[in-house]
Amino acid sequence: MRQLVEEARRQGRLVGFVPTMGGLHAGHASLTRAAAEACDEVAVSIFVNPSQFGPGEDFDRYPRSAEADCRLLAEAEASWVFMPEVESIYPPGDATRVVVGGPAVRWEGEHRPGHFEGVATVVSRLLAMVPAQRAYFGAKDWQQTVVVRRMVRDLALPVEIVVCPTIREPDGLAMSSRNAYLSPDERRRATALSAGLATAEAAWRAGSRAAAIEAELRRRLEAADVVVDYAALVDPESLEPLAADAVRGIPAIALVAGRVGSTRLLDNCMLD
Amino acid sequence: MRQLVEEARRQGRLVGFVPTMGGLHAGHASLTRAAAEACDEVAVSIFVNPSQFGPGEDFDRYPRSAEADCRLLAEAEASWVFMPEVESIYPPGDATRVVVGGPAVRWEGEHRPGHFEGVATVVSRLLAMVPAQRAYFGAKDWQQTVVVRRMVRDLALPVEIVVCPTIREPDGLAMSSRNAYLSPDERRRATALSAGLATAEAAWRAGSRAAAIEAELRRRLEAADVVVDYAALVDPESLEPLAADAVRGIPAIALVAGRVGSTRLLDNCMLD
């Protein structure tokens, strides 16, 4: 994979990279198409990274669908699909981890201990194996995009991180490989995340205070039987919570995470 | 710096990299000359890395001698000297650390908590800023060479680590920037490290057991008023201690560290 990318770069070609865990959906297709439009070649990796799943999480049942994934990627004009073995990413005797503090500490970092260590570790390895000029990530996992940009800046990695908009179902549900876990009833209730965020955005624009918006967002989620991990208005870069009385006029993003049945879902909405 | 290296590589040139903390001596000159002989261009970095010094260690008084260093490097045929500011290596808001377990846990890892995290973090950044095909390290810091090789393999960094022999004073003392701290009396006593290692090597060849060799090595160091941190026969790659009754016929290296006055010195000797 590295040789392909290096050879393309030697020929002056711009290479984009889309790291994924497979279970591909329209969000991944959109990332890949965005990369294909901006770059000459697009590498997509499919690697269900064990180190970013905690004990008791869904590593074993995470969707694995290599054939359908490859069809989707051909359609989206990927040049190359990279499907490394676990032993390529974690060689025998592996003892190295990339640890990010700062923006990785709260939210997902708190609710999924070790998650971002797994993400930073695998992304740093994938970026070394696929030395593209650009790497594409979806805004749906906003905190991940902040953590990856932080890591790339800190480790001086020679890659530009491009963040693409969240792709949604017609009823607003953010595309996620984990949506496949939802029963029909859960699928209906899951729209509470995007609907709650839309209400939060309207309230922010109307001048409501952060604490009031958070309380209303949480109320709406709980009304749909979503077990809320967090529902917070935060600074988009530091991910520090806004002050309770913060109002429009400052950078802000609303982050939500919660469980619908046994399925954990995330969503967010930039406020302005 | 990255542009210089990338441009040289685009022209098909082999680039070697020697990361240092300055305070350069004949050991660094030897590394640089080895790189200059094998490569077309040699980059040498001088950066006294704060994150690899613990509280109360000698960061503040570590030798800083940029002019003499540059003269030595010109003599040794370095192509480029890279002297980054602290803010280039640790950008504002920096929150990322590279953590190595395994071979980094014992010995220096135990006696200098956080040291190898600082080393791995700075070396990963320097390797990103100076993307040479080869990087040169001295065998005097043997555990460091093992930790760096482990990190490079684990993070899939596209660089070959070359380890060069320890350079010694005529009486056997391993070259070290910290030798400058020694008083004349301490300088004489410091030869106990290399002399003890030579005796250990002879005993190993003669068939002595590991535990007996370690005890004799420690006795010789203590006889010279060296405050011993460790004196151990270990596997050269895992750095696990040899069994007490281990004898020649297996890979082995003797590691010593201790303080002579207030100066902490290291040395080692591969056994065979």
Over residues A48-64, the pLDDT tens digits come to 999 999 999 999 999 99
Check B98 against A131: CB less than 8 A apart: no
pTM for the model stands at 0.96
Residue labelled with tokens 């680590």: B161
Positive/negative CA dihedral, A214, A219, A224, A230:
positive
Q: Is A155 on the interface with B (CB under 8 A)?
A: yes
Q: Is A151 on the interface with B (CB under 8 A)?
A: yes
Check B95 against A150: CB less than 8 A apart: yes
Q: Shortest Cα distance from A191 to chain B (angstroms)?
A: 35
Check A103 against B120: CB less than 8 A apart: no
Superfamily holding A2-164: HUPs (3.40.50.620)
Cα–Cα distance for residue pair B142/B266, rounded to 1 Å = 9
CA distances from B89 to B46, B94, B122, B124 (A): 12, 9, 7, 10
What pLDDT, on the 0 to 100 scale, is given for residue A272?
Answer: 84
Mean pLDDT of A244-258: 98
pLDDT per residue over B111-122, tens digit each?
Answer: 999 999 999 999
Check B96 against A99: CB less than 8 A apart: yes
Mean pLDDT of B207-233: 98
Q: Shortest Cα distance from B63 to chain A (angstroms)?
A: 26
**Phi/psi of residue A13, each to 5°?**
-90, 145
Q: Is B151 on the interface with A (CB under 8 A)?
A: yes
- Selecting from B10, B96, B124 the residue whose C-beta is nearest the C-beta of A150 gives B96
Cα–Cα distance for residue pair B57/B62, rounded to 1 Å = 9
Q: Shortest Cα distance from A126 to chain B (angstroms)?
A: 8
Mutate to test the interface with B, among A10, A98, A161 (most CBs of B within 10 A): A98
Whether pLDDT at A235 is above 90: yes
Q: Which fold has domain B177-271?
A: Pantoate--beta-alanine Ligase; Chain: A,domain 2 (3.30.1300)
Whether pLDDT at A165 is above 90: yes
Is residue A111 part of the annotated active site? The answer reads no
Domain edges within chain B: 2-164, 177-271
